[in-house]
């Protein structure tokens, strides 16, 4: 019983930390896209430093982007401050 409680407590605190980061800081997004040029390794849809290729999904490319929290829902402009992580 102790191990179950310990595991659930760790999961709860990890989820709380992730939620706090998500709501207070920049929002991170992972885009799941069809790989262009036949494979993820040759896909040039975005900065290659941000591309993630998975061996088990060769026809897919994954890209990481962030949106500044303060400008995510800016109603006065169409500039949503999409940027790449440092």
**Higher pLDDT pick, 36 / 12:** 36
Give dist(CA 28, CA 14) in Å, integer: 17
- Beta-carbon contacts of 41 under 8 Å, excluding residues fewer than 6 positions away, are 53
Q: Can you give the residue ranges of every domain in the chain?
A: 26-83
3-class DSSP string for 26-60: CEEEEEEEECHHHCHHHCCCCCHHHEECCCCCCCE
pTM: 0.53
Residue 16 pLDDT level (bands cut at 50, 70, 90): confident
- Beta-carbon contacts of 3 under 8 Å, excluding residues fewer than 6 positions away, are none
């Amino acid at each position: 019983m102790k191990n179950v409680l310990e595991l659930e407590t760790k999961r709860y605190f990890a989820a709380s930390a992730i939620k706090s980061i998500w709501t207070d800081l920049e929002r991170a997004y992972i885009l799941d896209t069809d790989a262009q040029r036949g494979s993820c390794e040759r896909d040039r849809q975005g900065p290659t430093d941000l591309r993630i290729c998975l061996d088990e999904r060769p026809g897919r490319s994954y890209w990481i982007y962030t949106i500044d929290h303060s400008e995510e829902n800016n109603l006065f402009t169409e500039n949503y401050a999409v940027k790449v992580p440092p």
